[in-house]
Every structure is written in structure tokens, then in C-alpha cells.
Structure 1
Amino acid sequence: MFTATLITLSLLSLTIPSSSSDHQPQSTTDVCIIGSGIAGSSLAHFLRKYSPTTAQIRMFERHPVVGGRMATVTIAGETFEAGASILHPKNYHALNFTHMLNLKVKGPSASESSFSLGIWDGQKFLFKTIDSNSKNQIVQYFISLANSLRMLFRYGVSLLKMNTFVEVTVDNFLKYYESEESRPIFSNVEDMLKWADLYNLTTHTLEEELVGLKFSPLLIQELITVITRINYGQSVRISGLAGAVSLAGSGGDLWSVEGGNWQMAAGLINQSDVTLHLQEEISSITNVGGFYELKSTNGNSYACQITVVATPLDELTTQFTPEISIPERKLQHTYATFVRGLLNPAYFGLNSVSDLPELLGTIESSELQFTCISVLKEHNANDFTYKLFSRQSLTDALLDQIFSIRNETIRINWGAYPHYQAPEEFAPFMLDDRHLYYVNAFENAASTMETSAVAAENMARLILSRLAGQQPLGSYGLKSSTSDSNLQHPEL
């Protein structure tokens, strides 16, 4: 995904288990999980939670560190999120993991809560909030109020309707935290979404949904486009559910794990008694009758009763025998560029760096070569750390135009999330009629740390129910409840 010479990841170093020297299949393992990100680590956790006697869980990670698309980057001794970076206050699985593992929640600082925003069209700022360096809370309050009024004046009541649209979607998503007694086990993504009244949002684009709700065209073209470009690297033509999730990720009270969100995956793996194989990529998976034979690029062979792919199949080179059939899907690549230096205000038609917003978003335009620029930290008046998102790698020539000072540059190419389109097609959770599973099928609905954990929890229950000879439940004709008494995490 990225070269070691360009990035230093502050991730947990875990011992690679020794392999058999003759490369013969080892004794059958109950479960083999391919991928150590939040989906794979959550699955291991929930398998242990619901079936503590599961004999063995093996996990294979092709990289030298765990975490998947959760990673950190270090610049001049400072550590910043490089991949999945924010969590919603109602991401209950992530909150529970954080508390269970004694990790520390990091909320936005006072300055981050009142950051300045600018919307750039490539030539000029279409909208820019008022900024102030004042530390006085009363001054900051009135500036925040003035900015809210200015946004309301520009975008009208559609701005309020946007909040309602997001709240309805989040409330529906909360059904996935209901107690096991009232929540079915889902054998496919479609039923899982229909049960929570979310499926219809995947059949239309976000733009179509918002136009149908009579949102202001200006709000859609500017602010909402800025948000979807930042969070999913795509326009408002993404599917409606992915768009609603993107808008939810732009609200207040967002949080992360201090020291890096990757610690959730590392902690879950450690606590779940997993045999972890780092730097071992699975090259083939073969159904040999009573088990699956997994062969790795290291020349090793493993026999697994149950095999779960917990990483996107879209760019994976693993060979399946028999072949599997899933809808064709492309990943949206996001190029994250970290720069220690100073922006050039003249590039943006301004006279001073202090006139630049802390978050600079862009509209959808083929002429724009970057998606957004954000200030990660101000070290002093002439020294900042910035993060830029773009759909293509930013050249040194372009960066030298955007920045007047560039002391350090780190580039990362993430195959970050699906390229969303409507109506969405979903890969199956079950890749065959036995025990070959694909937890990342849910990503075509929405790709976040929490949606991966929700899909993994359902997957654990699906695997265990099928092992017990029980048929997974469909979503139709089943009574559901959203009362707090039925939530798995009422304390949150």
C-alpha cells in the first residue's frame, strides 16, 4: 500500500508465529481470518465473546503491522492519523472496545471545535467563515454564532433539514445495537439493510435523495459536496446511505483514540487469543472437502474449518478454488499527503497565511487537483503540519506552488473505500455453501470503522448459528424494537 521509506507507522509489533519447515498443511484450525483491520479484529472478538470454547483462531496480515486502514504517520516526532481517523459519538462498538481495552478517548480541542472553513472553486473562495485568534470564550461564542447565521443565510432552511436527514439515518442504524433476542442474524447485506430501513438509501444517489427532499441546490453543490469529497473522495453522486454516513461524519463531538485508532484492532487481537501471522499473504484458498487449504506467499499451508475474508477483495490477488462470484467493484483511492511547512497565501489569492481557513474544502471540478487541505497542528507562525487529500498523487511541482515552505512531505496511497454508485450491488456474506465468508461485503453500504464492527458482529453470529445447524433469520415478519431497554449498550 505504501513503501516503508515514505512512512513510519507507530503500530504494535507482534511476534510472527513459527511455520512448519516442510510446508505441509498444519492441523485444522477452527477459524482463519484474512486481514487484521477493524473487521477482522472485531470478528475475532465477537467469536470469542459468543463462543469462548472456539479452539483456535488464526489471523493473516500481509503487512508487518496490524490495523489495516487504521494507521498513524509520524512527522518530526508528532503522530497523526493517516487512515481512518474519526468516530461518531454513537459508534457504540468502538466506544465499548475503547473502554474495554482501557484506551483513552480523544475529543476535539477547543480550537478544533471552532475551526474555520473555506470552500474553494479553484479560483476564489465561494464561502469562508470568520476566524479569530482570540482565546476569549465569549468572543469565540459570538464568532461561532455569527458563522452559523452566515451559513443559514447562504444555504437557507435546507441546512436544518440536513441535520434531520442525518438524525433519521443514525436512528435507523442504532437498531443494530438491539439485544440478540430482538435482532435477527442476517445471511446477506440486503436483508440486513432492509431490517434497519436503510436499504432504499442504497438504491438512489445522495443527490437524488436531497433533491427529492427539496434541498437547496447551492447547499448540495457547495457544502454537502465538500463533505462527501473529504470523507469519501467522491461527489454527491455516491449512494444515499454512504452520503448520509458521510454527513454524519461531519458533525460535532467526533472522537478518536489517543495515540491512534489502530490500538483498537491490536487490543482486540491480543485479547482474543489469536495466532497472528504478520507479513504473510494468503495466495490461494482451496475447498478440499472437509476444510479449506490456505497457501501463503511464504510457502506455508494451513487447513481451516472456517475461512473469513476480512479485507476488500477488489484488489486482492488471492486465487479461489472453486472460483467465487461477486459483483465487480472498484475501490476509490485517496492520496493522503502530509506536509510540514507553510501554505502560500498568494496561491489562493490572499495576502497572509492568517487569512487562510484551517479546513479548505473544494467543490466538484475537473480543474481541482486536490480535495481538501487541513491544518493538523500549528507549531509556530511559520511552521504547520498539513494533511491534503486528493484523487491522484500530488506532484512536487504542484506542492511547491501551494506551499511557500515545504520541509517534509509524506505520501500515502490508500485503497480507502468502495467507489459508490446507485443502485448498489452487494457481494454475499457467504462465498460458498459451506464456511467461506466475506465480512467486507457490507462496505458497499457504507465504509467506516463502526460499520465494519457491526458487520463483524453479525458475521460471528452467522458463523456460529450455521455451525449449530440453525438457519439464519431473514428480516421479514420479524418484530423489532428500538427502545433503550433493548439496546446492547444502554450505558452509552
Structure 2
Amino acid sequence: MRTDYLSKVSATVLAFLSPSSFRLSSGEASPKELVPIKTVAIIGSAGAGGSSTAYFLNKFLQPPQINRKHDHSITIFDQDDKIGGRCTVFRVSDYHPDRNGTVQKDKYIEVGASIFVKANYNLVDAAKQFGLKTEPLADEMMAIWDGKTILFEESRWKYWSVFKGFRRWGFSPFKLRVIILNTVNDLLEFYVSPETFDSISEFARRFKLDKLASIMSEQFLESSGISKQYATEVIEVATRVNYGSNLHEIHTLGAMVSMAANDALRVQGGNFQIFEGMVGHSKAHVRLSTKIARVRRTKPEYEGADTKFEVITASGQKQVFDIVVIAAPIQSTNIDFDLDLPPLPEVEYRTIYATFVRGHVNPAYFKVPPTKKLPAHILSTNSEDVEVTSISIQAKMSNGETVTKIFSPKPIQEEHLDRLYLNRTWVKSKIWKAYPKLHPLDLDNEDKDKKTSVDPFSEINTNNEQVILKKREEEKARASWGQIEIVPGVFYVNALEPLISTMETETIAGENVARLVRDRILGYCPVEKITKRM
């Protein structure tokens, strides 16, 4: 869930991705430069990363992006029975009385990623291209709760909310806004850049994200003059809802993205439709409900032949591809990768407990009089008295009930629901590994290499002490900053996630991988035609 609730005290920030060139040429394709049809397998998920990889790859291999169309084949494998990955909805039926009887009107509740913003150009452009209707979120009120009392509640009069915020937090919201806007100006360059990057560290340095991703939020905010009260009552509230993390558990970039909520949008009927559209426009062969058991490198047909990869399903079906794209966290795929993979970074994913309840929330739980209307979104601070991270209204039913979504640090028990609700019609729950724990990443690896480089004829180098130190630092850097092409011909979309994880950045990661695969297929880097959207 990407909260829109703090938009009046925050600003929009984006985090993006793209990779490093394969081989340069004149940028013009001659008939000799075009190679026979190439086959690409995208395995793991048809979610934001996998669908966008297929969509952009097909686009990049068509005129006017290249001189002439290049024949290719894309196959998407997903063990789920639907497209969308972690972006999914469920339907709630509501019945409205009408002159002619009762009319059923369905409402769609987002289980995973709930919103995106107008500056998320990949998602916005795709929704427009596919004819999807987007809608802004209702201007509903937000409150901050510490487990005992409501610390802050928005007013419908915008300027009164601003005044109350200034009275409580001083200039801290304005200081943070400046930091975010400076970051946004750098990040928006991605949309007018045809560059490619083969590692997350290169991308982070290019768009000046390395500093933010290398320092703990708590430390950065203090050094930037952000008051502790504002940090814990607003910014930490956002990181808890968005990434299940307190400020001492998340890097600064994650905290800034958590405050990204201005101009929030969603697709009517569910955001997953964007990714269905991407898959449809990619012209890919889609194999849903197909579990991959093994991916292995095949033996070359002859000396000097290109490497190929055999993809084997759980049912024993086999298919050979020229290129493989992994579009899910490797740790969660349970696929046997017989590829001589290098040591991959150990990325911990946060377990999220989401509970959906249809009923009536009990105002007394929040120490609010029965006559007072509760805010639509109640977000909690990091307090020992807090039992839920957030509770927010997702839909209002015609009979007065609401459908609310609860995030909590552990599963909600019946006894807790009895206190939290006056009554309830039904309860649904979802537990999943939603996103990685955004720990600070290694910084300035190239500078470290320079500091540890030594004269090969020096005495200390003869004893290998400096060489060993340098090797260890390089290994540590690789563990933190993932490579996009993990072995020749195998690309990893989710390498970006330790840097940041959102729907938009997944599509940017997919666009980046598509550029790398395009360059591998063509054997050169075409002069890409970029549409300016800034």
C-alpha cells in the first residue's frame, strides 16, 4: 500500500531504474546486423516487473525505435492463475435500493499496491494507452494515533490543517519538502534518458540516490534539522504503513518514497489492469498456472555457438530459450537454477499482515465519543500501546457499513476484532512477503576500490594483505549492489528492490532490463527516440 494520507504534509518522490550499454555502434541497423529470431523467457511473475519487461522489449524491437522490425518471441511463465503479481483486488458486492428494486454495484478493494501518483509516468501513460479510467482518491481525513489518544487530525479546511501542523511541528514539514523536491528533480531525468545501467550502484549514482540509500533515516533526518517529533509522528508513521519499518530500520530513500502521496491515483476496477494491458500489448505467449522447476544452461551445439537455456516446468515440459529474465525474488521462486550463479545478496522480505473487515468500527476503541465521526484513515506511531499499524476505509456501503483494511505487526485475533468493531459481517486476511527490508546499502564502492588499490610491486602486496582486503570489499559491494545481468544471458528484474520497491520502480526495472535484452539481441545500441514528459 502506498499511502495517500500524508500528502498534505509531504511531497511526491519517485525512485527509478535503467542499465549500462551492451555495445555501441552507429545506431543504425543494417540487414547484416539483424540476427535470426530470438526467444526470451520471463519467469517468476506476470506482475509489474515481468509484464513491463515484455511490454517494453516488444516496443523497443519495433519501428521507430529501430530501423526495421526484429522478429522475436517472448514467453511469460507464472505459477499464479492471473496477471498482476502482488497487485491484486477482491470484489465486494453492494446493493442499492432503486425504484425498480435492488441494484447491485460492485466495489473493488486493492489488496496490494493501492495507488500511484501523476509523476509515475510509466503507469500513467500505460493506463491512458490502454483506455483505463483513473480516479483521484477521495479527499478524506487522516489522523495520527499513539495507542492512547489522537495526536493530530486533519481538517476539511486545508489551511487550518497546515496551521495545526505548523503549530505542532514547526518548519520541519517545509524542510523535508525541500529535500524531496531536490531529489525529484534528479529522478525525473530518467524519463528523458535512454541510458542503460548494468548494476544498481551505477543507477543510484547517476540519479544521486546513493547517499540517501546508504544512510539510516533516523540519522539523516536528525542531521538535516528535521525535528524528532515530526520524524516520529509523521515520517515514521508513513514508513510503518508503506514498508512495515520504523526509522531505525529503513534507509532514507525508503522514508522519502513513503512520503510520496501528492496527486494520488488508482485505476477503476483495479490497478492490475495496467499489467494485463502491458502483457496484451507485448504479444507474449502467456503460460499461467505454470510452475517452473528448473532452468539450466544447455551444451552448445558447436564450438562458438551462443549459450541457450532450457526451462523445465514442474510437469516435465521443456523449452529452450536464448535469453532468460527472472521477474520475481529469486529466494521465493524455489526454482533450481543450474546456471553457476554467483553469490546473490541475501535480501530479507517483510511479512505483511493485512486484515479486511466489513462492519462498523467502534469509536470507543480510539477514545472518541460515539457522536463524533472517525477519520477515514488512522495511522499509528511506534508506541508500545499500539496494536495496529493502520486502519483505513476502503469502501463505504449503502447500509452504513464500511470495508476497512488493517495493517498489523502480527495476525489480528478475534478478541482484538471484538474490541475494534461494534459488529462485522465478514473478515478476510492476507499474509505475504510484500517488499524487502530496506536496510542501508554500501556506499561509494568505486572510491573504496581506489583507496585499497596498491602498487603491485609493494612489499605489502607481496604478502597479499591489501589484495585480500580489496577482494573482501568488492565481495561486500556485490552483495549490496546487485548486478542486473547475473550471468551472461540471464537478467534479474528484482535486483532493484533493495534500493526501493514500488509499482513504478518495478516498471522502470522492467524497462531497464528490456533495453539490455534489446541490445543483446540486436548486437548494438540503437539511437532511442525519447518522448519528453517533464
Match of 1:134 in 2: none
- Are positions 1:84 and 2:113 aligned together? yes
- Are positions 1:255 and 2:273 aligned together? no
- Are positions 1:56 and 2:35 aligned together? no
Please give the per-residue CA displacement for 1:137-171, whole angstroms capped at 9, x wherever unaligned: xxx4xx22111110111011011112122212222
Any conservation in 2 of the 1:58–1:275 contact (CA below 8 Å)? yes
Q: Distance in 2 between matches of 1:189 and 1:441?
A: 7
For residue 190 of structure 2, what is the amino acid of its counterpart?
Answer: Y
**Which one of 492, 495, 498 corresponds to residue 444 of structure 1?**
498
For residue 121 of structure 1, what is the amino acid of its counterpart?
Answer: D
- Are positions 1:39 and 2:93 aligned together? no
**Which one of 155, 164, 168 corresponds to residue 182 of structure 2?**
168
Computed over aligned residues only, the root mean square deviation of the Cα atoms, in angstroms, reads: 2.1
CA positional deviation for 1:118? 1.6
Q: Distance in 2 between matches of 1:69 and 1:358?
A: 24
Any conservation in 2 of the 1:343–1:353 contact (CA below 8 Å)? no
CA positional deviation for 1:355? 3.7
For residue 456 of structure 1, what is the amino acid of its counterpart?
Answer: G
Match of 1:345 in 2: 363
Please give the per-residue CA displacement for 1:240-299, whole angstroms capped at 9, x wherever unaligned: 112111111x3x211111111101111111111111011111121111243111111232
Match of 2:212 in 1: 201
Match of 2:254 in 1: 242
Q: Distance in 2 between matches of 1:445 and 1:491?
A: 24
Aligned pairs for 1:407-418 within 5 A: 407-418=425-436
Q: 1:370 to 1:314 in 2, by over 3 A?
A: farther
Match of 2:131 in 1: 102
SS in 1 for 2:481: coil
Match of 1:398 in 2: 416
Q: Distance in 1 between matches of 2:363 and 2:287?
A: 48
For residue 389 of structure 1, what is the amino acid of its counterpart?
Answer: F
Any conservation in 2 of the 1:29–1:303 contact (CA below 8 Å)? no
Q: Distance in 2 between matches of 1:446 and 1:54?
A: 34
Gaps of 5+ in 1: 1-27, 131-139, 473-485
CA positional deviation for 1:353? 6.4
- Are positions 1:276 and 2:286 aligned together? yes
CA positional deviation for 1:488? 3.8
Q: Distance in 2 between matches of 1:124 and 1:430?
A: 51
**Which one of 186, 194, 198 corresponds to residue 187 of structure 1?**
198
Match of 2:309 in 1: 292
For residue 393 of structure 1, what is the amino acid of its counterpart?
Answer: P
CA positional deviation for 1:233? 1.6
Any conservation in 1 of the 2:311–2:320 contact (CA below 8 Å)? yes
Q: Distance in 2 between matches of 1:396 and 1:240?
A: 36
Any conservation in 2 of the 1:29–1:58 contact (CA below 8 Å)? no
Please give the per-residue CA displacement for 1:456-483, whole angstroms capped at 9, x wherever unaligned: 11111112223344599xxxxxxxxxxx
Q: 1:200 to 1:470 in 2, by over 3 A?
A: farther
SS in 2 for 1:56: strand
CA positional deviation for 1:127? 2.0
Match of 2:83 in 1: 66
SS in 1 for 2:486: coil
TM-score normalised by the chain length of structure 1: 0.83
For residue 312 of structure 1, what is the amino acid of its counterpart?
Answer: P
CA positional deviation for 1:429? 0.8
SS in 2 for 1:389: strand
SS in 1 for 2:80: coil
SS in 1 for 2:76: strand
Please give the per-residue CA displacement for 1:105-144, whole angstroms capped at 9, x wherever unaligned: 2112xxx22x2222111122222234xxxxxxxxx4xx22
Q: Distance in 2 between matches of 1:383 and 1:283?
A: 45
CA positional deviation for 1:40? 0.7
Match of 2:532 in 1: 490
For residue 55 of structure 1, what is the amino acid of its counterpart?
Answer: H
Any conservation in 1 of the 2:213–2:499 contact (CA below 8 Å)? yes
Please give the per-residue CA displacement for 1:216-259, whole angstroms capped at 9, x wherever unaligned: 110001111111111112112311112111111x3x21111111
Equivalences, count: 431
Comparing 391-400 with 347-356, which one deviates more in the overlay?
347-356
SS in 2 for 1:256: strand
Q: Distance in 1 between matches of 2:74 and 2:384?
A: 47
Match of 1:356 in 2: 374
Any conservation in 2 of the 1:176–1:454 contact (CA below 8 Å)? no
Q: 1:57 to 1:339 in 2, by over 3 A?
A: same
SS in 1 for 2:426: strand
TM-score normalised by the chain length of structure 2: 0.77
CA positional deviation for 1:418? 0.6
- Are positions 1:431 and 2:448 aligned together? no
**Which one of 403, 406, 415 corresponds to residue 385 of structure 1?**
403
SS in 1 for 2:185: helix
For residue 490 of structure 1, what is the amino acid of its counterpart?
Answer: K
- Are positions 1:119 and 2:144 aligned together? yes
CA positional deviation for 1:367? 4.6
Match of 1:477 in 2: none
Q: Distance in 2 between matches of 1:78 and 1:89?
A: 23
Q: Distance in 2 between matches of 1:87 and 1:257?
A: 9
Q: 1:223 to 1:381 in 2, by over 3 A?
A: farther
Any conservation in 2 of the 1:330–1:419 contact (CA below 8 Å)? yes
- Are positions 1:223 and 2:234 aligned together? yes
Please give the per-residue CA displacement for 1:51-105, whole angstroms capped at 9, x wherever unaligned: 1324210001111101001111122342111111111111111111111111112
Any conservation in 1 of the 2:441–2:481 contact (CA below 8 Å)? no
Gaps of 5+ in 2: 1-36, 63-69, 94-105, 300-306, 443-479
Any conservation in 1 of the 2:215–2:440 contact (CA below 8 Å)? yes
Any conservation in 1 of the 2:107–2:395 contact (CA below 8 Å)? no
Aligned pairs for 1:451-466 within 5 A: 451-466=505-520
Q: Distance in 1 between matches of 2:247 and 2:73?
A: 44
Comparing 235-244 with 190-199, which one deviates more in the overlay?
235-244
Q: 1:313 to 1:367 in 2, by over 3 A?
A: farther
Any conservation in 1 of the 2:38–2:521 contact (CA below 8 Å)? no
Q: Distance in 2 between matches of 1:287 and 1:358?
A: 53
Please give the per-residue CA displacement for 1:161-182, whole angstroms capped at 9, x wherever unaligned: 12122212222211111142xx
